Amino acid sequence: MAVTSAPDAPAQAATRQIFMSQALHEALDEEMARDPNVFVMGEEVGIWGGAYNVTAGLLEKWGEARIIDTPISEAAIGGAAVGAAVTGCRPVAEFMYSDFMGIAMDQIVNQAAKNRYMFGGAAKLPITYRAPFGAGTGNAAQHTQSLEAWFAHVPGLKVVTCSSPHDAKGLLKSSIREDNVVVFFEHKAIYSMRGPVPEDEYTIPLGLADVKREGSDVSVVTYARQVHYALEAAEQLAGEGIDVEVVDVRTLYPLDVDTILASVNKTNHAVVVYEAARFGGFGAEIASQIQEHGFDDLDAPVLRVAGSHSPIPFSEPLEKGAIPDPERIAAAIRESLQGSR
């Protein structure tokens, strides 16, 4: 059974509070200092400092050979990272928005994800593809999608996301050190979220979920920004006598099924929450894993709370209505518990 509390233990003792964007910046800076083969590339990552300020100041510190402003070509970014990796570098390739990764799908899916297998393990591809994703910032239909299920479906890719500054730093450092391709998604609505981050060196292993809130009545399984909405819903429902456990999967692939099942074994109810369009979203995989491996523990069907099957609107009220929120999550939890209390 996976242990879920240990990786977050240092955060409890931390006194400083920093933004998630700063935590990611620190991870990049520290890994570049640790390994001269690590470099960062992407659109406006140098002079501009990145679309969300994550790489600000790194050009001045590390120079143009290691902080590379690329042309506006996602295919070139994705492909150059493959070439750099097979020749011994550890590229961190940033896509300004995850929506544009579709332009680089051949490079990511047919080259990066396949080459180690096709070369019988002789070729390592230590690539980290970083990309902001998700709604909540008014960026409309072409800059707001949650497409993580695309990449989790592809053998050869590890897929990671984060919900806090602490997790962001520890997971990104582990991703950069990984000898396989990692797609690292950062929810842009929480770049400005503050949280405790230790000043001492630490990493968080990939493939390890974390229980963000202990509970006994229902398990909410989720990731990224929706972790915070689930925690808000849990606090609301505590006043109704409902004790909610919140599990942050953190790594979509490899998925820590053991931690999810241990939670469901305790609560006997499961609600899966994800921001992407409901149909075919990654939450359907989580629900299926619970159904297949934890069916005997369930006292009610697994419920899903997800985004609408529509492009994300620019209008703020319509955007809010298109994605899960604490009220919708709380309603699903009540529905799951009907007849069980």
| pLDDT tens by residue, 1-46 | 233 333 444 444 547 999 999 999 999 999 999 999 999 999 999 9
CA 40-44-48 angle, 5° bins: 110
- Give the pTM: 0.94
Residue with tokens 């602490």: 166
Domain residues of the chain, as ranges?
6-196, 210-337
Distance CA 203, CA 169 (A): 8
The residues that are catalytic are: 74, 143
- Looking at the structure, give the CATH architecture of the domain made up of residues 210-337: 3-Layer(aba) Sandwich (3.40)
Identify the H or E element spanning 174. Answer: helix 165-177
210-337 has the same fold as 6-196: yes
Q: Which of 147, 134, 149 is nearest to 189 (CA)?
A: 134
Residue 159 contacts residue 207 (beta carbons within 8 Å) = no
Cα 273 to chain centroid distance, Å, stands at 13
pLDDT single digits (tens) 92-132: 999 999 999 999 999 999 999 999 999 999 999 999 999 99
Tell me whether strands 251-253 and 157-161 are parallel, antiparallel or unpaired.
antiparallel
CA 237-322-134 angle, 5° bins: 90
pLDDT single digits (tens) 184-241: 999 999 999 999 999 999 999 999 999 999 999 999 999 999 999 999 999 999 999 9
- Write phi, then psi, for 57 (nearest 5 degrees): 85, -10
- Confidence class for position 341, pLDDT limits 50, 70, 90: low
Distance CA 179, CA 157 (A): 11
pLDDT single digits (tens) 52-61: 999 999 999 9
Residue 62's contacts (CB-CB under 8 Å, 6 or more residues apart) are 32, 39
List 128's β-bridge partners, or say none.
92, 182
Q: What is the mean pLDDT of the chain?
A: 94
- pLDDT higher than threshold 60 for residue 163: yes
Give domain 6-196's CATH number out of 3.40.640.10, 3.40.50.10320, 3.40.50.970, 3.40.50.300. Answer: 3.40.50.970
Q: Percentage helix, strand, coil, to 5, in the chain?
A: 40, 20, 40
